[in-house]
Amino acid sequence: MEVKIALAGNPNCGKTTLFNALTGSNQFVGNWPGVTVEKKEGRLKGHKDVTIMDLPGIYSLSPYTLEEVVARNYLITERPDAIINIVDGTNIERNLYLSTQIMELGIPVIMAVNMADLLEKSGEKIHADKLSQKLGCEVVEISALKGTGIQKAAEKAVALAQRKGSAAPVHEFSEGVESVIREVAAKLTGVPEEQKRFFAIKLLEQDDKMKDRMKSAPDVSAEVKKLEDMFDDDTESIITNERYVYISSIIGDCVTKAKNGEKLSISDKIDRVVTNRIAAIPIFAAVMWLVYYVSVTTVGGILTDWTNDTLFGEWIIPGAQTLFENIGCADWLTGLIVDGVISGVGAVLGFVPQMLVLFMFLAFLESCGYMARVAFIMDRIFRKFGLSGKSFIPMMIGMGCGVPGVMASRTIENDRDRKMTIMTTTFIPCGAKLPIIALITGAFFGNAGWVAWSAYILGIAAIVCSGIILKKTKIFSGEPAPFVMELPAYHWPTVSNVLRSMWERGWSFIKKAGTIITLSTVVLWFLMNFGGLIAKENVVATFGMLFGFAEVAEDGTEIWASLATVLTPVAAYGYLAFNLLCAPCFAAMGAIKREMNNAKWFWFAIGYQCGLAYIVSMCIYQIGTLITTGVFGIGTVAAFLCVVGFIYLLFRPYKESDTLNVNMKSVAGAK
């Protein structure tokens, strides 16, 4: 018999570590239908007929984020045979909030209290038998990191699923609330008995999404008013408070605190330094500089150079060329296979070593708990121009390569913030844009250091200004989502988890971006045209070919003199600005298309990037030419009009969207 078991829990509770331990290599990774949230499922080791589904980390079944919507829809619609509810034992009181909701679904539940090893070290004790009795479900202590207790939890979940029986939740709220819940439950029709409590509570919370899912939702306005009059608060806040009151009432009997409970933990001591208001950002800058230096400049750079120059440049491509010539293959077919297909594959694989090293570092930083602190640190700054603190991580990663930068945006819960981050992340100069910066700097500005510095300032300014302007439009209006994130205790991640995360991200890049790059190189071979969109560093090679050089250095030293005869310094800087801000390489465009998961949004993002790049470069050229030569024309007028329009959009008053106004009126009316 086929059995489906779902893993559910808060973010950073150890759910993914448990999933990896239970399934090993029997995993399937993709996206949930219609959304960009990652979908992971796998076969339980030793059980061919048991599928484990790793749900997104969530804090509640009252959905505010895309992850919470996906998780709740799966649990309600698909209804797995059992749920393993992973609870962080070091933060058990906060984690039990989700547990009380899960147990109202009418699905068999096994609670796995994770991080038992850390609890033992701290001297804290969770009484699993008492907790099981209070909650009405079996409780197992595990350590997902060390693998202790995980098989026991899985076997119990399988046995529970095969029995096809689930006990009703035993937790109860105050009598006043319970009486109203019973009144609403009595009105429900077409709902299984074991789910009536869940649906009744959602109707009382005025959960519109849940109401839409029901075939015939009863009118509960009288019950809502009764509850609000009873407690003088809105119903959602009343239910939330009742859950925490219940949790507080049982936690004293189920948990024995350590005698030195007031003593700061190691994580707290570290946080006093790394989240310090003054030291936090310099520390993060140093960490990311080290990551960038190792993954792009040293280890990653060496591996990438070897892949490009030796593996493909000296071995594979010349070898294939010789092979096809010796067997008498037609010239056009040889060119197609060697210059189109093989070179296209080489273009993909050339990125991979750097990216794998970068992904390995990022996986380590995420698993040990540091990246959660970074998002917390940056939230205060990023909220000033309309983005969440989580937007900073994709932009920082984008300095190495736009592809992982765009992919990292999936950690942002709010859909508007995620889309805006995807659109603006590639404004930060990536490693592939450095040869263009070096070319313009050397050919026109005598290798002045300010040019490279200004390129990064331009990228940051484009992100900040885009955030301010886009937040004032209807499609992006609204405050950034409230920053809610559990800060997990610092711990050493396992090597297997870091390597698995690195490989999953790397393989995703090879499959998605690789197909686009390979196809595009084949198409361009037919068109006999070389462009900067394939990979930004190709701009230098293209200039070299235009000036009659078969091969040029990375910074195009050979063509500096020739280039200076056809462009002015102002025009060259405008061209540089266009390349920095316009649509990224095909690899990053492929990542944008995947993360947007919508053709209209993809083309909107590409159009915005190219449009902004053209306007900025035109203003630089026209106004710069006016200043340096005194030439004034129609283009100059257009540039000044663009500047005036930009200033207006930047400083115009913020207006709430119609949707936001309606929601605010609804809330005011309800109160």
pLDDT digits (tens, 9 = 90+) for 408-451: 787 676 778 889 999 999 998 886 787 788 888 888 998 887 88
DSSP element (H, E) containing 506: helix 495-527
The candidate with the shortest Cα–Cα distance to 526, out of 343, 335, 345, is 335
Q: How many whole angstroms separate alpha carbon 8 and alpha carbon 18?
A: 11
Strands 38-43 and 50-54: antiparallel
Q: Distance between CA 421 and CA 406 in Å, rounded?
A: 8
Q: Which residues pair with 3 in a beta bridge?
A: 50
**Which helix or strand (DSSP H or E) is residue 51 part of?**
strand 50-54
CATH fold of the domain at 3-163: Rossmann fold (3.40.50)
Output DSSP code: residue 371. H
Which residue type occupies 475? I
**Which residue stretches of the chain have pLDDT < 50?**
528-531, 657-671
Distance between start and end Cα atoms, the chain:
50
How many CB atoms lie under 10 A from the CB of residue 210?
Answer: 20
Q: At 125, which helix (H) or strand (E)? A: strand 125-126
Question: Where would I find the H helices in 58-174?
Answer: 66-73, 92-102, 116-122, 128-135, 150-163
Distance CA 28, CA 132 (A): 33
Q: Write out the H or E segment, with its range, that includes residue 244.
A: helix 235-254
pLDDT at 31: 62
Distance of alpha carbon 217 from the chain centroid:
35
pLDDT of residue 153: 96
- Give the pLDDT of residue 446: 87
User: Are the C-beta atoms of residues 273 and 283 closer than 8 Å to each other?
Assistant: yes
Q: Which pLDDT does position 8 carry in this prediction? A: 96
Query: What backbone phi and psi angles, to 5 degrees, belong to 88?
Result: -75, 110
Residue 406 contacts by C-beta under 8 Å, 6 or more apart in sequence?
394, 398, 422, 425, 426, 588, 591, 592, 595
Question: What confidence score (pLDDT) does residue 290 get?
Answer: 85
CB atoms within 10 A of CB 201: 26
Q: State residue 183's pLDDT score.
A: 95
Contact 116, 151 (CB under 8 A): no
Which CATH number, 1.10.287.1770, 3.20.10.10, 3.20.20.140, 3.20.20.70, labels domain 180-244? 1.10.287.1770
- Cα(454)–Cα(221) distance, rounded to whole angstroms? 59
CB atoms closer than 10 angstroms to residue 215: 7
Q: Which residues contact 69 (CB under 8 A, 6 or more apart)?
A: 63, 209
Angle between helices 15-23 and 495-527 (to 10 degrees): 80
Please give the Cα distance from 109 to 663 (Å, whole number): 36
Where do the structural domains in the chain lie, given as residue ranges? 3-163, 180-244, 282-658
How far is residue 428's CA from residue 452's CA, in Å, rounded to a whole number? 12
